[in-house]
Amino acid sequence: MWLANSRCREVVEAAWRSCVSLDPNKEILGKIEKCGRDLTWWNYNVFGNVRRELKKKRDVLVEEEAVALRTGSNVRIRELQREINELLDRETRMWTQRSRILWLKNGDGNTKFFHSRASHRYRKNVILGLNDSHGVWKEGPSEVAAILIHYYSDLFSTSNLPTQHEALSHIPQVITDDMNSELTSRFEEWEVLQALKQMAPMKAPGPDGMPPIFF
Protein backbone atom coordinates (compact mmCIF):
# COMPACT_ATOMS: atom_id res chain seq x y z
CA MET A 1 0.00 0.00 0.00
CA TRP A 2 2.82 2.41 0.87
CA LEU A 3 4.48 1.83 -2.51
CA ALA A 4 1.61 3.64 -4.20
CA ASN A 5 2.96 6.86 -2.62
CA SER A 6 6.21 8.33 -3.99
CA ARG A 7 7.19 9.63 -0.53
CA CYS A 8 7.73 6.05 0.68
CA ARG A 9 10.87 5.66 -1.44
CA GLU A 10 12.17 9.04 -0.28
CA VAL A 11 11.74 8.09 3.39
CA VAL A 12 13.63 4.81 2.88
CA GLU A 13 16.48 6.46 0.92
CA ALA A 14 16.91 9.24 3.51
CA ALA A 15 16.95 6.76 6.41
CA TRP A 16 19.39 4.48 4.58
CA ARG A 17 21.87 7.30 3.91
CA SER A 18 21.74 8.71 7.44
CA CYS A 19 23.00 5.60 9.27
CA VAL A 20 26.77 5.05 9.04
CA SER A 21 28.95 2.67 11.08
CA LEU A 22 32.49 1.28 10.88
CA ASP A 23 31.11 -2.22 11.33
CA PRO A 24 29.32 -3.29 8.07
CA ASN A 25 27.04 -5.73 9.90
CA LYS A 26 25.97 -3.16 12.49
CA GLU A 27 25.52 -0.58 9.74
CA ILE A 28 23.07 -2.78 7.80
CA LEU A 29 21.09 -3.64 10.94
CA GLY A 30 21.07 0.03 11.94
CA LYS A 31 19.83 1.10 8.50
CA ILE A 32 16.98 -1.44 8.56
CA GLU A 33 15.99 -0.44 12.11
CA LYS A 34 15.97 3.27 11.22
CA CYS A 35 13.93 2.61 8.07
CA GLY A 36 11.37 0.80 10.20
CA ARG A 37 11.14 3.68 12.71
CA ASP A 38 10.94 6.37 10.02
CA LEU A 39 8.32 4.50 7.99
CA THR A 40 6.21 3.98 11.11
CA TRP A 41 6.38 7.70 11.90
CA TRP A 42 5.63 8.64 8.29
CA ASN A 43 2.68 6.27 8.13
CA TYR A 44 1.11 7.71 11.28
CA ASN A 45 1.87 11.41 10.74
CA VAL A 46 1.94 11.85 6.95
CA PHE A 47 0.48 8.89 5.08
CA GLY A 48 -2.43 8.92 7.48
CA ASN A 49 -5.02 6.56 8.83
CA VAL A 50 -7.16 5.42 5.90
CA ARG A 51 -10.43 5.23 7.82
CA ARG A 52 -9.85 8.62 9.43
CA GLU A 53 -9.06 10.24 6.10
CA LEU A 54 -12.07 8.62 4.44
CA LYS A 55 -14.41 10.01 7.10
CA LYS A 56 -12.95 13.50 6.71
CA LYS A 57 -13.30 13.46 2.93
CA ARG A 58 -16.86 12.15 3.07
CA ASP A 59 -17.85 14.84 5.59
CA VAL A 60 -16.33 17.52 3.35
CA LEU A 61 -18.11 16.01 0.32
CA VAL A 62 -21.49 16.38 2.02
CA GLU A 63 -20.72 20.05 2.72
CA GLU A 64 -19.51 20.69 -0.83
CA GLU A 65 -22.61 19.05 -2.31
CA ALA A 66 -24.72 21.56 -0.39
CA VAL A 67 -22.55 24.40 -1.71
CA ALA A 68 -22.82 23.05 -5.27
CA LEU A 69 -26.62 23.19 -5.08
CA ARG A 70 -26.38 26.94 -4.44
CA THR A 71 -23.54 27.83 -6.81
CA GLY A 72 -23.97 25.26 -9.57
CA SER A 73 -20.22 24.46 -9.54
CA ASN A 74 -19.23 20.82 -8.99
CA VAL A 75 -15.46 21.03 -9.65
CA ARG A 76 -14.63 20.53 -5.99
CA ILE A 77 -17.06 17.59 -5.80
CA ARG A 78 -15.31 15.76 -8.65
CA GLU A 79 -11.95 16.36 -6.95
CA LEU A 80 -13.23 14.98 -3.63
CA GLN A 81 -14.76 11.94 -5.32
CA ARG A 82 -11.40 11.18 -6.95
CA GLU A 83 -9.63 11.48 -3.58
CA ILE A 84 -12.23 9.23 -1.92
CA ASN A 85 -11.80 6.60 -4.65
CA GLU A 86 -8.03 6.65 -4.08
CA LEU A 87 -8.56 6.18 -0.34
CA LEU A 88 -11.00 3.32 -0.96
CA ASP A 89 -8.42 1.66 -3.20
CA ARG A 90 -5.79 2.16 -0.49
CA GLU A 91 -8.13 0.64 2.11
CA THR A 92 -8.73 -2.41 -0.08
CA ARG A 93 -5.00 -2.91 -0.59
CA MET A 94 -4.40 -2.56 3.15
CA TRP A 95 -6.90 -5.26 4.11
CA THR A 96 -5.79 -7.48 1.22
CA GLN A 97 -2.25 -7.41 2.60
CA ARG A 98 -3.36 -7.95 6.20
CA SER A 99 -5.58 -10.88 5.21
CA ARG A 100 -2.57 -12.64 3.59
CA ILE A 101 -4.75 -13.65 0.62
CA LEU A 102 -2.19 -14.56 -2.03
CA TRP A 103 -4.46 -16.11 -4.62
CA LEU A 104 -6.22 -12.85 -5.51
CA LYS A 105 -4.53 -9.84 -7.10
CA ASN A 106 -5.30 -6.19 -6.31
CA GLY A 107 -8.46 -4.89 -7.93
CA ASP A 108 -11.26 -6.55 -5.95
CA GLY A 109 -13.05 -3.95 -3.84
CA ASN A 110 -14.56 -6.44 -1.39
CA THR A 111 -12.89 -4.85 1.63
CA LYS A 112 -15.34 -6.50 4.04
CA PHE A 113 -14.15 -9.94 2.89
CA PHE A 114 -10.48 -9.05 3.40
CA HIS A 115 -11.28 -7.48 6.79
CA SER A 116 -13.00 -10.72 7.80
CA ARG A 117 -10.03 -12.81 6.69
CA ALA A 118 -7.55 -10.56 8.53
CA SER A 119 -9.66 -10.67 11.71
CA HIS A 120 -9.97 -14.46 11.48
CA ARG A 121 -6.22 -14.80 10.94
CA TYR A 122 -5.51 -12.59 13.96
CA ARG A 123 -7.87 -14.58 16.21
CA LYS A 124 -6.30 -17.83 15.02
CA ASN A 125 -2.68 -16.73 15.50
CA VAL A 126 -2.81 -14.51 18.58
CA ILE A 127 -1.29 -15.98 21.76
CA LEU A 128 -3.10 -14.61 24.80
CA GLY A 129 -0.83 -16.39 27.28
CA LEU A 130 1.15 -19.54 28.10
CA ASN A 131 1.92 -21.76 31.07
CA ASP A 132 5.59 -21.61 32.06
CA SER A 133 7.69 -24.64 33.07
CA HIS A 134 6.16 -24.51 36.56
CA GLY A 135 2.59 -24.43 35.25
CA VAL A 136 2.08 -20.73 36.05
CA TRP A 137 -0.04 -18.81 33.53
CA LYS A 138 1.73 -15.79 32.00
CA GLU A 139 0.12 -13.17 29.74
CA GLY A 140 2.62 -10.33 29.28
CA PRO A 141 4.30 -10.17 25.82
CA SER A 142 7.81 -10.27 27.33
CA GLU A 143 6.85 -13.17 29.62
CA VAL A 144 5.31 -15.15 26.73
CA ALA A 145 8.43 -14.51 24.61
CA ALA A 146 10.68 -15.72 27.45
CA ILE A 147 8.62 -18.93 27.81
CA LEU A 148 8.89 -19.67 24.08
CA ILE A 149 12.63 -19.00 24.00
CA HIS A 150 13.21 -21.21 27.06
CA TYR A 151 11.05 -24.02 25.64
CA TYR A 152 12.79 -24.22 22.27
CA SER A 153 16.25 -23.64 23.74
CA ASP A 154 15.64 -26.59 26.04
CA LEU A 155 14.09 -28.66 23.23
CA PHE A 156 17.08 -28.27 20.90
CA SER A 157 19.77 -28.68 23.54
CA THR A 158 20.90 -31.69 25.54
CA SER A 159 22.35 -32.37 28.96
CA ASN A 160 23.75 -35.78 27.92
CA LEU A 161 26.51 -34.73 25.52
CA PRO A 162 28.88 -37.76 25.87
CA THR A 163 26.38 -40.10 24.16
CA GLN A 164 26.02 -38.10 20.95
CA HIS A 165 29.18 -39.52 19.37
CA GLU A 166 28.00 -43.09 19.98
CA ALA A 167 24.63 -42.30 18.40
CA LEU A 168 26.13 -40.51 15.42
CA SER A 169 28.53 -43.38 14.74
CA HIS A 170 25.56 -45.55 13.68
CA ILE A 171 24.29 -43.01 11.14
CA PRO A 172 25.70 -43.61 7.63
CA GLN A 173 27.49 -40.64 6.10
CA VAL A 174 25.85 -39.51 2.86
CA ILE A 175 27.34 -36.00 2.62
CA THR A 176 30.74 -36.05 0.92
CA ASP A 177 33.52 -33.62 1.79
CA ASP A 178 32.90 -31.72 -1.46
CA MET A 179 29.18 -31.45 -0.71
CA ASN A 180 29.90 -30.29 2.85
CA SER A 181 32.33 -27.68 1.56
CA GLU A 182 29.65 -26.32 -0.78
CA LEU A 183 26.97 -26.34 1.93
CA THR A 184 29.16 -24.45 4.40
CA SER A 185 30.52 -21.92 1.92
CA ARG A 186 29.59 -18.23 2.06
CA PHE A 187 26.36 -17.14 0.42
CA GLU A 188 26.75 -15.53 -2.99
CA GLU A 189 24.86 -12.37 -3.91
CA TRP A 190 22.93 -14.14 -6.67
CA GLU A 191 21.76 -16.80 -4.20
CA VAL A 192 20.36 -14.14 -1.84
CA LEU A 193 18.58 -12.37 -4.72
CA GLN A 194 17.17 -15.65 -5.99
CA ALA A 195 15.84 -16.56 -2.53
CA LEU A 196 14.24 -13.13 -2.09
CA LYS A 197 12.52 -13.28 -5.48
CA GLN A 198 11.06 -16.68 -4.64
CA MET A 199 9.35 -15.28 -1.52
CA ALA A 200 5.86 -13.81 -1.58
CA PRO A 201 6.55 -10.04 -1.25
CA MET A 202 4.09 -9.41 1.58
CA LYS A 203 4.62 -12.57 3.64
CA ALA A 204 5.18 -12.28 7.38
CA PRO A 205 8.22 -10.12 8.22
CA GLY A 206 11.31 -11.42 9.96
CA PRO A 207 12.65 -10.37 13.38
CA ASP A 208 13.58 -6.95 11.95
CA GLY A 209 9.91 -6.28 11.07
CA MET A 210 10.51 -5.91 7.32
CA PRO A 211 8.67 -8.05 4.72
CA PRO A 212 10.56 -9.47 1.69
CA ILE A 213 9.36 -6.64 -0.59
CA PHE A 214 11.46 -4.14 1.41
CA PHE A 215 14.69 -5.94 0.53
Phi-psi region of 40 (alpha: psi -120 to 50; beta: other; left: phi over 0): alpha
pLDDT of residue 67: 81
Contact 210, 201 (CB under 8 A): no
Q: Is 95 exposed, middle or buried (0-12, 13-18, 19+ CB in 10 A)?
A: buried
Q: Treating both helix axes as pointing N-terminal to C-terminal, what angle do 75-99 and 50-71 enclose, rounded to 10 degrees?
A: 160
The pLDDT of 85-95, averaged and rounded, is 72
3-class state of residue 197 by DSSP: helix
- CA–CA distance, 43 with 11 (Å, rounded to integer): 10
Residue range 150-176, pLDDT digits in tens: 888 888 776 666 666 777 788 888 899
- Predicted model pTM: 0.44
- Residues with Cβ within 8 Å of residue 133, at least 6 apart in sequence: 147, 150, 151
Share of the chain above pLDDT 70, in %: 76
